Amino acid sequence: QQPVQSPQAVILREGEDAVINCSSSKALYSVHWYRQKHGEAPVFLMILLKGGEQKGHDKISASFNEKKQQSSLYLTASQLSYSGTYFCGTASQGGATNKLIFGTGTLLAVQP
Least separation in angstroms between CB 70 and other proteins? 17
Residue 16 or 50 with smaller CB distance to other proteins:
50
Candidates 32, 62, 66, 70: give the one binding other proteins (CB under 8 A).
32
103: Cα within 13 Å, side-chain hemisphere: 30
Q: Is 8 in the site for other proteins (CB under 8 A)?
A: no
Read off the amino acid at residue 81. S
Task: Give CA–CA dist 50/53, Å, rounded.
Answer: 7
Least separation in angstroms between CB 100 and other proteins? 5
Q: Enumerate the β-bridge partners of residue 92.
A: 28
Taking phi first (over 0 means left), then psi (-120 to 50 degrees means alpha), and beta for anything else, what does residue 68 get?
alpha
Q: Is 89 in the site for other proteins (CB under 8 A)?
A: yes
Select from 10-18, 30-38, 52-60, 71-79 the region that touches other proteins (CB under 8 A): 30-38
- Spatial contact of 82 and 10, defined as CB atoms under 8 Å apart: no
Per-residue interface string for the shown chain with other proteins, residues 46-75, x marking contact by CB under 8 A:
-x-x--------------------------
Task: Give CA–CA dist 64/50, Å, rounded.
Answer: 7
Q: Residue numbers of the site for other proteins (CB under 8 A)?
A: 2, 29-30, 32, 34, 40-44, 47, 49, 87, 89, 91, 96-105
